[in-house]
Amino acid sequence: MSVTRELAAYLVGSRPDQIPADVRHEAKRAILNYVGCAVGGSREDAVQIALKVLTPYSGERTARVLGRNERLDPLQASLLNGISSHVLDYDDTTPSNYIHPTSPAASALFAYTSTAPVAGADFVHALVLGFEVQSRIGDATYPAHYEAGWHSTGSIGVFGAAAAIAKLLELPLQNMIWAIGLAATQSAGLREMFGSMGKAFHPGRSAQSGYMGALLAKAGFTSGEYGIEGPRGFAPVTARSFDLARITTDFGSDFGLRRNTYKPFPCGIVIHPTIDACVQIHRDTKLAVRDIRAVRLKVAPLVLDLCSKRDIRKGLEGKFSVFHAAAIGLVRGKGGIAEFTDATVNDPDVKRVRETLTVAEADPSIAEDEVMVEVTLTSGEQVVKHVEHAIGNLARPMTDVELEDKFRDQAAAVLGVRRAAELIALCWSIDKLADCRTLIEATAPAP
């Protein structure tokens, strides 16, 4: 059997009752995190522009755009959902291949299921499979594919969207092979777009392309049979080296969702340990700004290579300043959306800690997910915090409660506190819903 055919056969044969309970729960964590990101990102400029430009090119507007009152046809809604869920760089990550896999798969799934009655258990099953396809293709082609310059959340995400929709459409084997092939031949997304709206466009367009590929494949639009492994197929064309056995090993027992991680803070990952340590100091000591005499950070050298600016004015710059990371942790005891606004960056207390009181030292013995923070208080007392693995890492995953906090931090601004809480409950119970639209409609703000 070929790799593409073997993968397609697994997708066609998989049943919801074959997904282990821990994987189902991890899928719900991924959905909770995804919905929070999509609602939280739904006001960003990239979303507003795309919505305005593409509305005239929408068919019957049957699909909800998450977090908004507008509807579009489900292909266009997929694109919008993909943009909003990735635009804050806050969605999930599989560290083994740097893909953000939930965005492309769930963006297509939420668009589709907002137009038809789909049981939550089938949604979760399709998401598990859409995630799985990305994990397997991602692990098989990492690092060569990513290092070549592909933004794999786009270039591999398209397979996840195609597989997830094709599963809900109940495609038989031959058509599933074509859906994978049509995904392969639409695979796109360059890392050169980082720093522009083009980055968030990637999971959106891949959701839409994968979805369309599944629709065409269902109707008999053919593709090559060896979309992944053929000599001119996805893997040989986009990666110098790869291990295709990783795509077809341990079907049904190994699941990429078990290796998923969630960003606790919406900023560069190398400053996460510093926020984590400083938030802990804030919680443990209840210190006030006037109590702080000096702050000393020992960080991995890479951190200062990437994030050493302190004289900053913009929220976006704060996302890449380790000094700002220390300041918000100590002053606010948080590192959420509000801590990376222009207002917070220019807050006098935050500014003082960031620009006057904090020094940072590169220490080659400190790992990238590690930090040593020493705070000298005006009393002369020293508070020391050593974080060995920042929160959010696989070694120290965010708890369900922390994911709920993150969700509220994003969604409450759009929906209000009460409706955000209701939406959290719906995400946890999605696998019990007779019709996913109960959840989807709850993402719409008051008109």
What is the Cα–Cα distance from 258 to 431, expressed in whole angstroms?
18
Cα angle 326, 199, 337; round to 5: 35
For 342, counting Cβ atoms within 10 Å of its Cβ (0-12 exposed, 13-18 middle, 19+ buried), the class is middle
Question: Which residue, 233 or 392, is less far from a second copy as judged by CB?
Answer: 233
What DSSP string describes 283-298? Answer: HHH---GGGEEEEEEE
The encoded tokens of residue 181 equal 């092939």
CB of 76 to a second copy, least distance (A): 8
The encoded tokens of residue 343 equal 């207002």
3-state secondary structure of 125: helix
CB of 64 to a second copy, least distance (A): 16
Paired residues of 376 in beta bridges: 294, 382
The encoded tokens of residue 262 equal 């969630």
CB of 440 to a second copy, least distance (A): 19
Question: Which residue, 187 or 344, is less far from a second copy as judged by CB?
Answer: 187
CB of 236 to a second copy, least distance (A): 6
What DSSP string describes 312-351? Answer: --SHHHHTTBHHHHHHHHHHHS--SGGGGSHHHHT-HHHH
CB of 226 to a second copy, least distance (A): 6
CB of 194 to a second copy, least distance (A): 7
CB of 150 to a second copy, least distance (A): 7
Decide the pairing of beta strands 382-387 and 371-377.
antiparallel
Site residues, a second copy (CB under 8 A): 45-46, 49-50, 52-60, 73-76, 148-151, 154, 178, 181-182, 184-198, 201-202, 205, 209, 212, 215-216, 218-224, 226-227, 230-234, 236-237
Question: Which residue, 56 or 364, is less far from a second copy as judged by CB?
Answer: 56
What is the Cα–Cα distance from 107 to 109, expressed in whole angstroms?
6
3-state secondary structure of 309: coil
Question: Which residue, 120 or 181, is less far from a second copy as judged by CB?
Answer: 181
CB of 54 to a second copy, least distance (A): 8
Are the beta carbons of 176 and 12 closer than 8 angstroms?
Answer: yes
**Residue type (1 letter), 35:** V
For 389, counting Cβ atoms within 10 Å of its Cβ (0-12 exposed, 13-18 middle, 19+ buried), the class is middle
CB of 133 to a second copy, least distance (A): 17
Question: Which residue, 150 or 255, is less far from a second copy as judged by CB?
Answer: 150
CB of 172 to a second copy, least distance (A): 16
Question: Which residue, 242 or 323, is less far from a second copy as judged by CB?
Answer: 242
Look at the block and give the residue holding tokens 């979760």.
Answer: 124
Question: Which residue, 218 or 332, is less far from a second copy as judged by CB?
Answer: 218
Q: Which residues contact 411 (CB under 8 A, 6 or more apart)?
A: 35, 36, 39, 40, 67, 420, 423
Paired residues of 295 in beta bridges: 358, 375
Are the beta carbons of 74 and 62 closer than 8 angstroms?
Answer: yes
Question: Which residue, 164 or 387, is less far from a second copy as judged by CB?
Answer: 164
Question: Which residue, 121 or 215, is less far from a second copy as judged by CB?
Answer: 215
CB of 209 to a second copy, least distance (A): 8
Look at the block and give the residue holding tokens 């980055």.
Answer: 199
Question: Which residue, 40 or 154, is less far from a second copy as judged by CB?
Answer: 154
What is the Cα–Cα distance from 325 to 333, expressed in whole angstroms?
10
3-state secondary structure of 362: strand
Question: Which residue, 221 or 428, is less far from a second copy as judged by CB?
Answer: 221
- Widest Cα–Cα separation across the chain: 75
CB of 185 to a second copy, least distance (A): 5
Question: Which residue, 212 or 375, is less far from a second copy as judged by CB?
Answer: 212
What is the Cα–Cα distance from 76 to 59, expressed in whole angstroms?
9
Q: In terms of Cα–Cα distance, which of 11, 9, 1, 258 is closest to 133?
A: 11
The encoded tokens of residue 315 equal 């929220």
